[in-house]
Amino acid sequence: MRYRNRAQQASRRDLIRRRSTLIQPSRRHFLGMAAAAGAGIPILSSCAGGVSEDDDDSGGGMGQVDISPPGKFSGRDINIVMWSAMGGVGGETLDALVEEFNESQEDIYAEVQFQGDYHESSSKLTAALQAGEIPDVMMLADTFWGRYLLNDVLEPLTDYLDDELNRDNYIDVLYDEGLVGEDLYWLSFGRSTPLFYYNKELFAEAGLPDRGPETWTELREWGAELTQLQVQGKSLKAHAFTGGDDWQFMAATWQFGGTLSDGLEVTIDSGGAVDAAEWHQRFIFEDDMAYLSQSPGEDFSAGVVATFIGSTGALGGVYEAAKFDVGTAFLPREVAQGVPTGGNGFSILKGAAQERKDAAFELLKFLSRPENSAKWTLATGYLPIVQGAADEPELAKKLDEDPNFSVAVEQLPDAQPSDAIRSYLPNGTDLIIAGIQQIYSSGSADVQSVFSDVAEELRQGAEDIADDYERYFGA
């Protein structure tokens, strides 16, 4: 805009000023808009205040979270609360089993309260412990219970064991994972091992045998054949890696002869861990046979990748989604065998009153009966946890009919417990996962330096929990 003279320019500016007040938001208007837009400051809000003493309690000194027995169960001697981290089919099955428990006797009422996934329910337990109002029995994932152990909030279960429930009638590998020295703190429940899944049709098309590869090296040889195939106009990938978990990678570390840690001594920056990661990175970027997938199970079911490693628990979902014959096999070896276990178990909280703890153990005993373990396995695909479950007629039939279902059971005796850094350091898995993701997502990431950084953070964390760890495990 060209102004003819200064006066005109000034008057124009004046005009603009006056008009602009019309569209200028007033302070109140502005604040209103800001509030409406939800502007605020995020702060870690935390519950202040310590543990409150509950006078009514004869035992642990902590109160109980709210519980509301329905009419037909009201007035029982004792009410207990179980917090669960399992939604979906697993949640429904657990609810049904606990309902059966309530019907089976007349003294105890147990209520399952779903608290979100493992992360969320763990946060809620932390808050509950601070507030001093807790559930009596808590479902904790294998990588979560360690932190509660080290902070002395879990009840040793050894003294509760009896003829009905003890190591002899449990699957010993699974029982032992909850052992700390001589004492049991965590009772395996929804447990699984990873399986090697393969697409039988694609294997046949590529002229490969109908079995899983013996070793990673064999998978790579097969990869050369598989990647010749075309799916939807693209070359087929041989294998999909997950970036969401470090479970599979821990197995690979063992298979390449290493460990993530020995006790709390971090070993991820040397030996088998580095070898495994370098091998995987080459498999992805140089060989161009594998990739980091958002959800390997979905990709596999859609037929765009020939193999992946996933939980036994994924079997049902894969069956439902896949339009081809699904095969499962033991995990590949390389220089050694490596089979981890995963999933959840139950712990009883030390802070609950004694009678509540006794009642909670009765519930665990009920869930561990062979017929109930079999129901649980049939519905969810998790492993049978007690001896005798696999002999229950329905489950026996299923194991017999579907070889895929029994692979996990057969593989289980070879399983070994998780490396300690992963179980006891609260963000152990998160740090390891971040490292793996970096390597799987970039061909230029230097494995040694990525894992050196991860190891440094893990060591700092290990230092923080070392004293507590030593109290339970010795130096």
Q: Which residues bind another protein (CB under 8 A)?
A: 1-3, 12, 15-17, 19-25, 30, 33-34, 37-46, 48, 50, 119, 123, 126, 129-130, 147-148, 151, 153, 232-234, 243-244, 291-294, 299, 302, 304, 426-427, 430, 433-435, 437-438, 440-442, 445, 450, 453, 457, 461, 464
Amino acid at 281: Q
Least distance in angstroms from the C-beta of 460 to another protein: 9
Least distance in angstroms from the C-beta of 170 to another protein: 28
Least distance in angstroms from the C-beta of 264 to another protein: 16
Closer residue to another protein, CB minimum distance, 209 or 233: 233
- In whole angstroms, what is the distance from residue 440 CA to residue 446 CA? 11
Q: What is the 3-state secondary structure (H, E, C) of 135-201?
A: CCEEEEECCCHHHHHHCCCECCCHHHCCCCCCHHHECHHHHHCCEECCEECCEEEEEECEEEEEEHH
Closer residue to another protein, CB minimum distance, 33 or 204: 33
Task: Please state whether beta strands 305-311 and 108-114 pair in parallel, antiparallel, or not at all (unpaired).
Answer: unpaired
Least distance in angstroms from the C-beta of 120 to another protein: 9
Least distance in angstroms from the C-beta of 44 to another protein: 5
- In whole angstroms, what is the distance from residue 308 CA to residue 197 CA? 5
DSSP 282: I
Would you call 327 helix, strand, or coil by DSSP?
A: strand
Least distance in angstroms from the C-beta of 324 to another protein: 16
Least distance in angstroms from the C-beta of 330 to another protein: 27
Least distance in angstroms from the C-beta of 369 to another protein: 33
Amino acid at 19: R
Closer residue to another protein, CB minimum distance, 72 or 119: 119
- In whole angstroms, what is the distance from residue 282 CA to residue 470 CA? 39
Closer residue to another protein, CB minimum distance, 370 or 428: 428
Query: 103: Cβ–Cβ under 8 A, 6 or more apart, which residues?
Result: none
Amino acid at 357: K
- In whole angstroms, what is the distance from residue 222 CA to residue 187 CA? 40
Closer residue to another protein, CB minimum distance, 12 or 397: 12
Closer residue to another protein, CB minimum distance, 291 or 469: 291
How many other CB atoms are found less than 10 A from the CB of residue 347? 25
Least distance in angstroms from the C-beta of 9 to another protein: 11
Least distance in angstroms from the C-beta of 103 to another protein: 36
Closer residue to another protein, CB minimum distance, 121 or 368: 121
158, with CB counted inside 10 A (0-12, 13-18, 19+), is middle
Q: Do residues 447 and 281 touch, judged by C-beta distance below 8 A?
A: yes
Least distance in angstroms from the C-beta of 20 to another protein: 4
Least distance in angstroms from the C-beta of 138 to another protein: 13
Q: What are the CB-based long-range contacts (under 8 Å, 24+) for 271-277?
A: 272/335, 273/451, 274/447, 274/448, 274/451, 276/249, 276/252, 276/334, 277/249, 277/436, 277/439, 277/447, 277/450, 277/451
Closer residue to another protein, CB minimum distance, 7 or 43: 43
Task: Please state whether beta strands 137-141 and 342-348 pair in parallel, antiparallel, or not at all (unpaired).
Answer: antiparallel
- In whole angstroms, what is the distance from residue 461 CA to residue 425 CA? 7
Closer residue to another protein, CB minimum distance, 95 or 468: 468
Q: Which residues pair with 241 in a beta bridge?
A: 292
Closer residue to another protein, CB minimum distance, 39 or 107: 39
The sign of the torsion formed by the CA atoms of 248, 249, 252, 258 equals negative
| HSE, side-chain direction, 13 A CA sphere, residue 75 | 2
Closer residue to another protein, CB minimum distance, 12 or 167: 12
Closer residue to another protein, CB minimum distance, 201 or 299: 299
Residue 162 Cα distances to 138, 157, 374, angstroms: 21, 11, 21
